Structure 1
């Protein structure tokens, strides 16, 4: 929805009331569901070529708009992939804290892997 609308705030306003209605606030996965909603909305907005912030960023940097979208997609998608793994782990374990720890470890690993693939060695 964020990708199609090009707005994270509009997506949050549309989806968050539904998510809040589905999960009771005492459920440990309540915060995970809210986080998934916010993260998905921001991801969709960030990779959407019709997003106002994407258009303004490419215009401000004076670069080709679709090239800017293409360069931002890998960065946002790495974070989205780590989040998806974290959400699955949270759903299986019923604990947001285990998935948070796994997500931090996966992000650090992704940074090292991407750094090695770019430079051939880890640079500080």
Structure 2
């Protein structure tokens, strides 16, 4: 590594002008109902949002009935996020990009699960 420079590869959110709330309104409503306003304010990339979903899944304060859709999809969320992390750490950007597309698709599936 250079003495005065470093390579920084990171995943950043690009939700557009409406933010996370506009891109995933059902998810945003559900996160608010679960008391996760901080996630809505911070608007992390979906890659990082998986960690918040994992915490929600084990939170006893969140009713099990509201977590049903999440619980069905959570193993896939975790698996894809972990795979993406491996690609990120190994600088396999093409593979990382493919994982991020799969993660976006999975968030779309969760959005449908959360329709009220």
TM-score, normalised via structure 2 length: 0.39
The two structures have a TM-score, normalised by structure 1, of: 0.38
User: Which has more radius of gyration?
Assistant: 1
